[in-house]
Chain A
Amino acid sequence: MNAMTGELKFSTNHEWVRLEQDNVAVVGITDFAQGLLGDIVFVELPEVGQQVQLNDEIAVVESLKAASDIYSPISGVILEINEALSDQPEVINSSPDEQGWLYKIEYRNLDELNQLLSPDDYNDLCQSES
């Protein structure tokens, strides 16, 4: 399977990965995940340039009642982080799929992408967990 620009994939840890051009992917947490966490008050993001392995603890999303570690769904190098979240972490609640993205990563390993879930499979996962 080849990666396609705009394609949306999901990890079992409730992160989404949106593929963009030039081996770049955007990562965020899903609507389901933000719903479980509740009101988000703080986000800790990786540093630009950081090398990331698959399943590294790379970010923390904290709500009023919980703190959730984000495990990177793919390996690569961090290109950009969503600076806006430091002042307005609640954007993750209001727009988890768009404005609430966490970081952009340059990926290398296509196999890892193939391991991720399709939207349908992810929906099934959420059904079984709710």
Chain B
Amino acid sequence: MDDSINKSNSKQNNSPTNSLPIGGMFQSRHIGLSEDDKKTMLNFLGFKDMEECMQSIVPDDIYEKSSLELESPLSEEAAIARLKRLAEKNYLYKSYIGQGYYNTHTPKVIQRNILENPGWYTSYTPYQPEISQGRLEALLNYQTMISDLTGLEIANASLLDEATAAAEAMAMAKRVSKSSGDRFFIDEDCFSQTIAVVETRAKSLGIGIDIGSIKEVDLNNNYFGLLTQYPGASGDIMDLSSHISKAKQHHTIVIMIADILALMLLKSPGELGADIAVGSTQRFGTPIGFGGPHAAYMATRKDFQRSIPGRIVGVSIDQHDNIAYRLALQTREQHIRREKATSNICTAQALLAIIAGFYAIFHGSEGLRQIAAKINRLTRIFAHGLSEMNYEILNQNFFDTVSVKTNQHTQTIIDKALEHRINLRAIDSKTIGVAIDETVDLEDIELLWEIFSHKQSQEINALSEEPTTSLPESLKRNSNVLQDPVFNRYHSETEFMRYARLLCDKDIALDKAMIPLGSCTMKLTATSEMLAIGWPKFSSIHPLAPENQIQGYRQLFDELQEMLCQITGFSAFSFEPNAGSQGEYAGLLVIDAYHKNRGETGRNICLIPKSAHGTNPASAMMAGMKVISINCDNEGNIDLDDLKSKAKLHQQELSAAMITYPSTHGVFETTIREVCAIVHEHGGQVYIDGANMNAMVGICYPGEFGGDVSHLNLHKTFCIPHGGGGPGVGPIGVLKHLEPFLPNLGINQEPSSGSNNIGSISAVPWGSASVLPISWMYITMMGRQGLRAATESAILSANYIASRLKQYYKILYTGHSGLVAHECIIDLREFKQRADIEVDDVAKRLIDHGFHPPTISFPVPGTLMIEPTESESKKELDRFCDAMISIRDEITAIESGELDRLDNPLKNAPHTAEHVAANDWHHAYSRESAAYPLSYLKKQKYWPPVGRLNHMYGEKNLRTSRLPEDE
């Protein structure tokens, strides 16, 4: 043990970076504290140096028991150059592969003003509606678009990808179906990645799957739900009306995966009688990005609104009766309902959904119809030309995809295409699939003909003939879509740019102020980290591109995996999970597969401390496990005796324990080794929830102190921005013995026989590949020393805040030394009795001070949890503390009767400009104290666009799309 410490120290001393001027390196840009700030803050806390501070906080028996062996940090310029070299190893071929991933033109005004704008990409999930009206409106626009196109009233604010959306839809169908059937039918013409993900999900839920042709299946009482795709993977479009009505007679819930662009021309799933529609919105302006991240949509009928998973934006009013938006129906969700939630899903793909919504606003109803019509027309021309060459097109009905019979010439044609730097899809030796998208033009079609032609020169008349229709007459869309003014008003770039800015200005993102959300780690995403999302050699690669075209990505994955293994002590990672919640689900399935492989089939109990985030039990439920709660003691620590007795009682059935470390209370529990050992002794595996990894990097190692598997939130600790509620990336790391069970299939590959892996968790084996360069850049630029310095600064900052505030507020949980980890909890419950002040009042009053409120009532009701991260300067930390102290003074004034108990600046917060500037001012405190409680605010003021939300109104009058009268 001592050896490893010495090893690590000696490495540090010999590090070449020690001789470099630190100020020139990236870490001084990423970490907000200067060396002087750190000294002042350490001094304030009573420590002589950082080492002493860390040793007082991190338990001895886990501190630095391993060494972080990473390369020396690179400067921003050098790291960009290296990443460019990786990108150069990817080859950009024109893709006609399709299968759910289509080339798209991201409008430049969207790329610059939204995708690459920190005002949009650094904001958080809009739990605090008053400072989130901009992105809530953008998401409402998106939901309105989805409802319109699908013909279903209730759309959510997006899911993680099309395949997982289909799996969620199956689970939802199981909940709502009145059928007694326990089987689920999948039409064989669905994308294979979708079928794979649904099969994995069905297995853990104990649902039997039948795959076949919907035209032939006997839809009887066996099926609680069925899944079809429209158009199908082959490109074919079937009129399913009669099958749908037959299914309904048996109470079978009908789920349609529908191509969002095809719906501009085709009858909506709602019109055809579907109960649930899902699909990808990628082709609405989101780059393919080697498979993700993309927003998937889900929509359903009003009857099922309480069973739909995921975030939903709803329309309500504020305290002044003005229209205001909020997240609706939150009691469905895991953070409230735990194992009874509709899903474990927490994140949406907010940024990508917002982009899709803006794409529709940019083009408008007519513009989108023209894009769809052009694609369909080019496909018809292409098909017509092939017919002239005597090729048989297997699907007479199509939107953008045709399956072409090649008479055993598949390989010749594929090879010829590759010579032209074109990727076609080989379906089999006799069939090729071609998918046309919005980037294709006539010249491209002519080149395709040349590739398919056997002759040197081929005369084709298809161009001069009007090709016949390819959409079934009965399925042509007659209903109007996207008639709301928002979709038909911002077509000039000036107007569009200003609308995007108007919305952005309504919100608090990291470009305005610290976002001190506990357990969310709202740290800097540096500009240089974001750069690569705009590089075509990362952003325009199709996930089914041949292996020799994607070696840059492969190397990036290998290098990032190696870095994360070093940081965590695990031996392998899977990047497949698209969010922390999906990581939890995948990790538990890995544990389950491990037990089963050892013949221990009866292990299905998951122990979860009561303090755990609700996602943990929701994930365990999805993985088919039974949840048993472990008590916590008064200090918030895991009750060891309770753990021991429950582990012992269930030692035959114990599968896993899910432990968050540092705890959800923000404390380094000293017993973590013992906790892990107890679980292991009774045959269980330890899942470490990596949500709080930001307190551990370079200081302790979950793979070393007892974790068997863990997910990392790359969007917290490793700088992928939160995007207003997604993308999230939740790779799982495992120790050696669990490696065989990782979900590591290639896309669309059948598992090899004897394979133990858990199958597909999301559509693409490497998840959201195009945002992984962000974490790669962060680690590359920080290096070993920078990463450790970040952890130290995050912990120091949290303790500084706790220490500055402790004479004003009660700090709820601290570790053995009276110190916290990287976040602290402030208990406000005492003020309820003394001043009628509740946690919401303090949170909303912070908005008047220009801050995003901290996490509210998690993990303890009536408290605020504050996590500053390492990226904030001491000046910003002090500004926040000053705001909290100023609010405490106001509470004192209420307690003493100086301020009224009901009419005071906290109860009426946040104060809008309209409210403060109104001719009538009837409050017992001044306008100035309402708007400018501290003098700096006169120069630096954020005006909330709405007053406090009326949640009751929104919940009782649920509406999830725009109405023209909202204007």
Residue positions of A touching B, CB distance < 8 A: 39, 41-42, 44, 62-67, 69
Known A39-B952, A41-B955, A41-B956; judge A62-B340 contact (CB<8 A). Answer: no
Interface residues of B in 287-344 (CB under 8 A from A): 306, 331-332, 336-337, 340
**Pair B331/A62 contact, Cβ less than 8 Å:** yes
**Pair A67/B331 contact, Cβ less than 8 Å:** yes
Q: How far is the CB of A65 from chain B (nearest CB, A)?
A: 7
Q: How far is the CB of A32 from chain B (nearest CB, A)?
A: 17
Q: How far is the CB of A100 from chain B (nearest CB, A)?
A: 16
| B951 in contact (CB, < 8 A) | yes
**Pair B336/A67 contact, Cβ less than 8 Å:** yes
Interface residues of B in 927-967 (CB under 8 A from A): 951-952, 955-956
**Pair B951/A64 contact, Cβ less than 8 Å:** yes
Of the A-B pairs whose beta carbons lie under 8 Å apart in the complex, a sample of 13, sorted by A's number, is A39-B952, A41-B956, A42-B331, A63-B331, A64-B331, A64-B952, A65-B331, A65-B336, A67-B332, A67-B336, A67-B337, A67-B340, A69-B340
Q: How many angstroms from the CA of A66 to the CA of B337 in the assembled complex?
A: 8
Q: Which of B306, B340, B951 contacts A42 (CB 8 A)?
A: B306
Measured between beta carbons, the chain A residues less than 8 angstroms from B340 are 67, 69
- Of chain B, the residue at the smallest CB distance from A64 is B951
Q: Which of A44, A66, A69 contacts B336 (CB 8 A)?
A: A66
Q: How far is the CB of B682 from chain A (nearest CB, A)?
A: 29
Q: How many angstroms from the CA of A29 to the CA of B670 in the assembled complex?
A: 42
- Of chain B, the residue at the smallest CB distance from A87 is B956
Measured between beta carbons, the chain B residues less than 8 angstroms from A41 are 952, 955-956
Measured between beta carbons, the chain B residues less than 8 angstroms from A64 are 331, 951-952, 955
- Of chain B, the residue at the smallest CB distance from A41 is B955
Q: How far is the CB of B312 from chain A (nearest CB, A)?
A: 14
Q: How many angstroms from the CA of A69 to the CA of B956 in the assembled complex?
A: 20
- Of chain B, the residue at the smallest CB distance from A38 is B952
Q: How many angstroms from the CA of A44 to the CA of B340 in the assembled complex?
A: 14
Going nearest first, the 5 A-B pairs with the smallest beta carbon separation are: A67-B331, A41-B955, A62-B331, A64-B951, A39-B952
Q: How far is the CB of B788 from chain A (nearest CB, A)?
A: 40
- Of chain A, the residue at the smallest CB distance from B956 is A41
- Of chain A, the residue at the smallest CB distance from B338 is A67
Measured between beta carbons, the chain A residues less than 8 angstroms from B951 are 64
- Give the interface SS of chain A, mostly helix, strand, loop or mixed: strand
Measured between beta carbons, the chain A residues less than 8 angstroms from B332 are 67
Measured between beta carbons, the chain B residues less than 8 angstroms from A42 are 306, 331, 955
Measured between beta carbons, the chain A residues less than 8 angstroms from B337 are 67
Q: How far is the CB of A20 from chain B (nearest CB, A)?
A: 30
Interface size class of B (residues with CB under 8 A): 10 to 19
Q: How many angstroms from the CA of A42 to the CA of B332 in the assembled complex?
A: 11
- Of chain B, the residue at the smallest CB distance from A57 is B340
Interface residues of B in 340-354 (CB under 8 A from A): 340
Q: How many angstroms from the CA of A69 to the CA of B338 in the assembled complex?
A: 12
Measured between beta carbons, the chain B residues less than 8 angstroms from A44 are 306
Measured between beta carbons, the chain A residues less than 8 angstroms from B955 are 41-42, 64
Q: How far is the CB of A39 from chain B (nearest CB, A)?
A: 5
Measured between beta carbons, the chain A residues less than 8 angstroms from B306 are 42, 44
- Of chain A, the residue at the smallest CB distance from B332 is A67
Measured between beta carbons, the chain A residues less than 8 angstroms from B336 are 65-67
**Pair A66/B952 contact, Cβ less than 8 Å:** no
Q: How many angstroms from the CA of A43 to the CA of B401 in the assembled complex?
A: 46
Q: How many angstroms from the CA of A44 to the CA of B331 in the assembled complex?
A: 13
Q: How many angstroms from the CA of A62 to the CA of B340 in the assembled complex?
A: 13
Measured between beta carbons, the chain B residues less than 8 angstroms from A62 are 331
Q: How many angstroms from the CA of A27 to the CA of B955 in the assembled complex?
A: 25
Measured between beta carbons, the chain B residues less than 8 angstroms from A67 are 331-332, 336-337, 340
Q: How many angstroms from the CA of A67 to the CA of B341 in the assembled complex?
A: 10
Measured between beta carbons, the chain A residues less than 8 angstroms from B331 are 42, 62-67
Q: How far is the CB of A130 from chain B (nearest CB, A)?
A: 13
Q: How far is the CB of B314 from chain A (nearest CB, A)?
A: 12
Q: How far is the CB of B953 from chain A (nearest CB, A)?
A: 10
Q: How far is the CB of A123 from chain B (nearest CB, A)?
A: 22
- Of chain A, the residue at the smallest CB distance from B955 is A41
Q: How many angstroms from the CA of A44 to the CA of B306 in the assembled complex?
A: 10
- Of chain A, the residue at the smallest CB distance from B306 is A42
Q: How many angstroms from the CA of A10 to the CA of B247 in the assembled complex?
A: 44
Q: How far is the CB of A52 from chain B (nearest CB, A)?
A: 18
Q: How far is the CB of A56 from chain B (nearest CB, A)?
A: 14
Interface residues of B in 519-540 (CB under 8 A from A): none
Interface residues of B in 898-916 (CB under 8 A from A): none
Q: How many angstroms from the CA of A104 to the CA of B279 in the assembled complex?
A: 43
- Of chain B, the residue at the smallest CB distance from A89 is B956
Q: How many angstroms from the CA of A67 to the CA of B339 in the assembled complex?
A: 12
Q: How many angstroms from the CA of A66 to the CA of B335 in the assembled complex?
A: 10
Q: How far is the CB of A93 from chain B (nearest CB, A)?
A: 11
Measured between beta carbons, the chain A residues less than 8 angstroms from B952 are 39, 41, 64
Q: How many angstroms from the CA of A63 to the CA of B337 in the assembled complex?
A: 12
Q: How many angstroms from the CA of A63 to the CA of B956 in the assembled complex?
A: 11
Q: How far is the CB of A18 from chain B (nearest CB, A)?
A: 28
Contacts A63-B331, A67-B337, A67-B340 supplied; 17 other A-B pairs, CB < 8 Å: A39-B952, A41-B955, A41-B956, A42-B306, A42-B331, A42-B955, A44-B306, A64-B331, A64-B951, A64-B952, A64-B955, A65-B331, A65-B336, A66-B336, A67-B331, A67-B332, A67-B336
Measured between beta carbons, the chain A residues less than 8 angstroms from B956 are 41
Most chain-B CB neighbours within 10 Å: which of A44, A64, A66, A69?
Answer: A64
Q: How far is the CB of B778 from chain A (nearest CB, A)?
A: 36
Most chain-A CB neighbours within 10 Å: which of B331, B337, B952?
Answer: B331
Q: How far is the CB of B844 from chain A (nearest CB, A)?
A: 16
Q: How many angstroms from the CA of A69 to the CA of B955 in the assembled complex?
A: 19
Q: How many angstroms from the CA of A59 to the CA of B47 in the assembled complex?
A: 56
Measured between beta carbons, the chain B residues less than 8 angstroms from A69 are 340
Q: How far is the CB of A86 from chain B (nearest CB, A)?
A: 12
Most chain-B CB neighbours within 10 Å: which of A62, A63, A66?
Answer: A62
Most chain-A CB neighbours within 10 Å: which of B306, B340, B951, B956?
Answer: B956
Q: How many angstroms from the CA of A42 to the CA of B305 in the assembled complex?
A: 12
Q: How many angstroms from the CA of A39 to the CA of B337 in the assembled complex?
A: 17
Q: How many angstroms from the CA of A44 to the CA of B336 in the assembled complex?
A: 17
Q: How many angstroms from the CA of A39 to the CA of B331 in the assembled complex?
A: 13
Measured between beta carbons, the chain B residues less than 8 angstroms from A65 are 331, 336
Q: How far is the CB of A68 from chain B (nearest CB, A)?
A: 9
Q: How many angstroms from the CA of A66 to the CA of B331 in the assembled complex?
A: 6
Q: How many angstroms from the CA of A67 to the CA of B338 in the assembled complex?
A: 10
Q: How many angstroms from the CA of A63 to the CA of B330 in the assembled complex?
A: 10
Q: How many angstroms from the CA of A64 to the CA of B306 in the assembled complex?
A: 13
- Of chain B, the residue at the smallest CB distance from A62 is B331
Measured between beta carbons, the chain B residues less than 8 angstroms from A66 are 331, 336
Q: How many angstroms from the CA of A56 to the CA of B955 in the assembled complex?
A: 27
- Of chain B, the residue at the smallest CB distance from A42 is B306
- Of chain A, the residue at the smallest CB distance from B341 is A67
Q: How many angstroms from the CA of A64 to the CA of B332 in the assembled complex?
A: 11
Q: How many angstroms from the CA of A65 to the CA of B840 in the assembled complex?
A: 12
Most chain-B CB neighbours within 10 Å: which of A39, A41, A44, A69?
Answer: A41
Q: How many angstroms from the CA of A65 to the CA of B857 in the assembled complex?
A: 11
Q: How far is the CB of B306 from chain A (nearest CB, A)?
A: 7
Q: How many angstroms from the CA of A69 to the CA of B341 in the assembled complex?
A: 12
Q: How far is the CB of A129 from chain B (nearest CB, A)?
A: 15
Q: How far is the CB of A63 from chain B (nearest CB, A)?
A: 7
- Of chain A, the residue at the smallest CB distance from B333 is A67
Q: How far is the CB of B621 from chain A (nearest CB, A)?
A: 14
- Annotate B879-913 by CB proximity to A: 1 below 8 A, 0 otherwise: 00000000000000000000000000000000000
Q: How many angstroms from the CA of A62 to the CA of B305 in the assembled complex?
A: 14
Q: How many angstroms from the CA of A41 to the CA of B575 in the assembled complex?
A: 40
Q: How many angstroms from the CA of A39 to the CA of B952 in the assembled complex?
A: 7
- Of chain A, the residue at the smallest CB distance from B857 is A65
- Annotate B648-689 by CB proximity to A: 1 below 8 A, 0 otherwise: 000000000000000000000000000000000000000000
Most chain-B CB neighbours within 10 Å: which of A44, A63, A64, A67?
Answer: A67
Q: How many angstroms from the CA of A42 to the CA of B331 in the assembled complex?
A: 10
Q: How many angstroms from the CA of A62 to the CA of B331 in the assembled complex?
A: 7
- Of chain B, the residue at the smallest CB distance from A88 is B956
